[in-house]
Amino acid sequence: MLVVAGLLLPTAYLLIRAFETSEAALQTFMRPRTWVIIGNTTGLALAVTTVSGLIAVPIAWLTVRSDLPWRRFWAVVTPLPLVIPSYVGAYLYISALGPRGALQQLLEGPFGITRLPSIYGFTGALFALTLMCYPYMLLSVRAALMRMDPSLEEASRSLGHNATTTFWRVVLPALRPALGAGGLLVALYTLRDFGAVAIMRFDTFTRVIYLQYSSFDRSQAAFFALLLIGLTLVLVAFEAQTRGVARYDQASGAVARPPTIIALGHWRWPAFAFCALIVSLSLVLPLTILFYWLVRGLLAGEQMGNLGSAVWNSLLASGGGAVVTVLAALPLAVLVVRRPGRLTALLERMAYSAFALPGIAVALALVFFGISYARGLYQTFAMLLFAYAILFLPQAFGALRTSLLQIHPGLEESARSLGYRPPQVFLRVTAPLMRPGLIAGASLVFLTAMKELPATLLLAPLGFRSLATEIWSAVSEAFFARAAAPALLIVLLSSVPMALLSMRERRGMS
Amino acid sequence: MPSLLKRRFMLTLFAMVALLLTACTQTATPPAPPAEIVRETVVVEVTAEPQVVETVITQPATPGNLVIYSGRSEALVGPLINQFAAASGVDVQIRYGSTSEMAATLLEEGSNSPADIFFAQDPGGLGAVAKAGLFAPLPAELVSQVPTRFRSPEDLWIGISGRARVVTYNTDAINPEELPADIFDFTDPVWSGRIGWAPTNGSLHAMITAMRQVWGDEKTREWLEGIQANNPVVYDRNTTIVTGVAAGEVDIGFTNHYYLYRFLAEQGEGFKARNHFLTGSGPGSLIMVAGAGRLASSPNEANALRFIEFMLSPVAQQYFASQTAEYPVVEGVVGPPGLPPLEELESAALDIDMADLDDLQGTIQLMQDVGVLP
């Protein structure tokens, strides 16, 4: 209940603020241009989600179920693009692929190309956002694949289906909750993103909201943010509709059974090339440019700040945020999955309501409530973790729900009939079975908290610096070399926990 | 206490050397000083030892603390604030963010705010906080140091440094002598497809608000429509405009002057963009101030005032000129090396009062009507 109350804070705040709004907001709302923007935004969200799925499902399957070369390496690096802040990522893409960017410079000598086709607009936004968001789907689909009972596929195979038909008829439908949860995160992230669409010059709804904040009109901003919540609820309902009432659980507690590995045969190297292509676009390309910035700046004698405390703070806040968020999402997920009903469906929607909001709206909501009702906690580390929990709860919730859906309630019931009390049942039966979901949820929160900005800026203790704030501070004043060092560090540091988690995953499977 | 006495002596000596240096730069330099010499002198003076700063500030027995909400980036003002902290002994705590984020936070916090000082990038942010009645008036001896047009009419906030609006041009595509002196002339169709601008950027909003002051709404609308008819390339902020201009995506861009010097520092003199100052007439050469105000709820009033006093001192004003290429607002301090003096830029825009730049809503409305903004 406390969790839900926390989640409702942003909406409550926006209602209070929007109530003060003037005629002007309504006028803006009635302009046809506003509706074009709503259309733009929805279209972009759907396109990014679809393309992310086309990238994420193959990679998830290849890294869990196939004999892809360097399988573990790909498993560690493919989720990493999630930590690159979108305003930096998009900036890097235009530096590299813009009409007169690095690629054009390379081509000018040998081929005489003086200008590349424009990357700006819908294409650029789709490109940048997809490469930064697909890990949302990747992580949830991977978790689902790992928990999937191989006997389902064996049954399909024994009925005469070949591997391909089995994938389409058995595996993919069973992945539906994971695809839904991951896809929803991608779509909602696209709705709330500001940095990438701004740099790619594509008008979306968040640009309208930011414009209001930058002209110091909080009421109009709140009015539009509420509309965004409306759009979110429609998407969430749509996802719930497609998921339907189907059940995805399995009776056995077959954690011990590792999934069968399918030999790719002559597809091994094309699959390898696919992973390499995605990673080079989403990770190698941005990192190369960052490295170039760093070297160029160092050669020009740029001063580098000390990043020690920023590194420590980032790890502490993101790690803490991941733990707190998963713990907060857990009861909600259990309730929604085990006690389905109208009330819990409502809870589920509420869980997502704040996720599509631009971070600044959520941060201001917490400023508003924090200063009035939680003075002692205001701008403390605890407050920051609380903000992360509200911001990122849907990410953890989606992953937890997916893995809970795969666990047959009978397992818990039989444990209870054997004399275990509910908390014991949870700790000894449910939690171990949920492990891939818990890990996926925690990693998602960790990776996105690493780059979180507005809440960190407004709610962290005074003088708190994280890698994300260092990058932001430097980039906004064109200190590119000084931004490159923390940006490279953020990727490097995030890969360490990802590698550790992936090793645990493997141990869990074998 | 011989050691203390010795220290005192050293300090005095330091102070005298510093004073001499300042005096030299001020008296010995002609109106357009050779850039290199000024830069040299200033760097030594500002960054060498914090003791130099102590001549400006007296350190009490219990310095106490100070909380600053800064809409100015740490990369720009961090070193200077650190010098204040070191010299005064005050425990300074800073929250950095964008000016609009910090202003919105202050408005939410109201009189419960832990902040003593709001240090903002533009007059719009200061105006929004002043309008909400959250600032306390500043004492006359502080505000009198800065020209009237660079501060709030009720003395609620004060300008600390200034930035000029400029036209940044690509050095391959443009001969600077052919550039117009009046920003209105960029509505000419010869500029079709060659202009870059950032319609969502706060500084551009400030310039358009100034246009409405000087030209009136009708001519401003004409300018906006004329630029829009020239199919300008839309960027998200000033730094991307400068990148775009240097890369040759566009020939010219409307930006603030000081970003260019960052690019030159990192990428060398081969960077293909330079600034054109619109010395002709009109709001194209608007000087915008970054400034600060003291929150009425401020728990540390004395330190807040000492901070503002320090920011107006020659040391701090010279820091802006030499380190961030901004214009000092206190008269008699040498401007950024190699840039046209403030008076020259302002000949036409002198009447623009920073406090009149707070009708941002009207500006945004106008830009939306013309179809420049979503």
The pLDDT tens digits of the residues spanning B344-356 come to 776 555 567 777 7
Q: Which residues of B touch A214 (CB under 8 A)?
A: 100, 200, 202, 205
pLDDT at position B68: 97
Residue B41: which residues within 8 A CB-CB, separation 6 or more?
A: B21, B24, B25
Q: Do B262 and A478 touch (CB under 8 A)?
A: yes
| pLDDT mean over A365-375 | 89
Identify residue A117 by its one-letter amino acid code: P
pLDDT at position B42: 31
Distances (CA, A) of B322 to A390, B37, B42, B326, B327: 44, 11, 7, 8, 9
Identify residue A435 by its one-letter amino acid code: R
pLDDT at position B19: 42
Domain-wise residue ranges, chain B: 56-162+288-339, 163-286+354-370
pLDDT at position A24: 66
| pLDDT mean over A68-81 | 89
pLDDT at position B31: 36
pLDDT at position A437: 84
Instruction: Tell me which H or E stretch contains B21.
Output: helix B2-28
* pLDDT per position as a tens digit, B78-111: 999 999 999 889 999 999 999 999 999 999 999 9
| pLDDT mean over A188-206 | 84
Give residues 193 to 232 of B whose Cβ lies within 8 Å of A. Answer: 200, 202, 205
Residue B10 has pLDDT above 60, yes or no: no
Q: Which two tokens stand for residue B44?
A: 């030594």
Residue B13 has pLDDT above 80, yes or no: no
pLDDT at position B224: 95
Q: Do A364 and B105 touch (CB under 8 A)?
A: yes
| pLDDT mean over A156-176 | 81
Closest partner residue to B266 (CB to CB) among A201, A473, A480 is A480
pLDDT at position B196: 94
* pLDDT per position as a tens digit, B147-159: 888 888 899 999 9
Is B163-286+354-370 the same fold as B56-162+288-339?
A: yes
Residue B50 has pLDDT above 50, yes or no: no
Average pLDDT over chain A, rounded to an integer: 84
Which percentage of chain B shows pLDDT scores above 70?
Answer: 82
Q: Do B374 and A94 touch (CB under 8 A)?
A: no
- Banded model confidence at residue B253, pLDDT cuts 50, 70, 90: very high
pLDDT at position B236: 82
Q: Going from the N-terminus, what domains does chain A have, and what CATH number goes with each? A: 2-243+268-509 (1.10.3720.10)
* pLDDT per position as a tens digit, A447-472: 889 988 889 999 999 989 899 999 98
Closest partner residue to B108 (CB to CB) among A207, A215, A371 is A371
* ipTM given for this complex: 0.86
| Measured distance CA(B317)–CA(B295) in Å, rounded | 23
Task: Determine contact: B124 vs chain A, CB below 8 A.
Answer: yes
| Measured distance CA(B228)–CA(B232) in Å, rounded | 6
Q: Which residues of A touch B103 (CB under 8 A)?
A: 216
| Measured distance CA(A314)–CA(A451) in Å, rounded | 9
Residue A359 has pLDDT above 70, yes or no: yes
In CATH terms, the fold of domain B163-286+354-370 is D-Maltodextrin-Binding Protein; domain 2 (3.40.190)
Residue A225: which residues within 8 A CB-CB, separation 6 or more?
A: A14, A18, A209, A357, A358, A361
Mutate one of A215, A294, A366 to test the B interface: name it (highest B CB count within 10 A): A215
The DSSP code for A263 is P
pLDDT at position B78: 92
| pLDDT mean over B307-318 | 94
| pLDDT mean over B46-75 | 70
| pLDDT mean over A57-64 | 92
Which CATH code is given to the segment(s) B56-162+288-339? 3.40.190.10
Interface contacts A/B by beta carbons within 8 Å? 137
Q: Do B104 and A364 touch (CB under 8 A)?
A: yes
Instruction: Report chain A's terminal Cα–Cα distance, integer Å.
Output: 38
Task: Determine contact: A463 vs chain B, CB below 8 A.
Answer: yes
